[in-house]
Amino acid sequence: MTKVTKLAAERRELMDDIAMLTKRKAEIDAKLLKLDPDKTYTGDGVELSFTRVHSLDSALIAKRFPASRRPEFYKLSLDVAEFRKHFAEKDLEPYEKVSTRISVKAVD
């Protein structure tokens, strides 16, 4: 195995581990959220407490206050697809940013 493929294999393993750990974290969170949020739990070298986070439900607000009736609640944003329609590909180059996506697949 070359150094590059070893790195790719390690990255693939890490991605699998992250997916598994993310799933396990969600399972644990679901169990913890069933506990009394007003109580602090201490033991096994940890202290568990809960903080309520208040945020607005954007979907609900948009449903009850559509832009057609309350435009002051909304702002314009750039429509990239529309922008592209007005320029030739070569003229878009100065506005492009280039990034690289890494893909590693397990092979047998």
| pLDDT per position as a tens digit, 26-68 | 999 999 999 999 999 999 999 999 999 999 999 999 999 999 9
13: left (phi over 0), alpha (psi -120 to 50) or beta: alpha
- Please tell me the number of Cα atoms within 13 Å of 22 on its side-chain side: 6
How much is the pTM?
Answer: 0.68
Quickly count: other Cβ atoms within 10 Å of residue 1's Cβ. 8
**Amino acid in the structure at residue 59:** A
CA nearest neighbour of 6 among 63, 14, 71: 14
pLDDT tens for each residue of 1-21: 799 999 999 999 999 999 999
Quick one: pLDDT band at residue 104, thresholds 50, 70, 90? Answer: confident
Please check whether residue 95 is in contact with residue 2, taking contact to mean a CB–CB distance below 8 angstroms: no
pLDDT at 106: 77
pLDDT at 86: 96
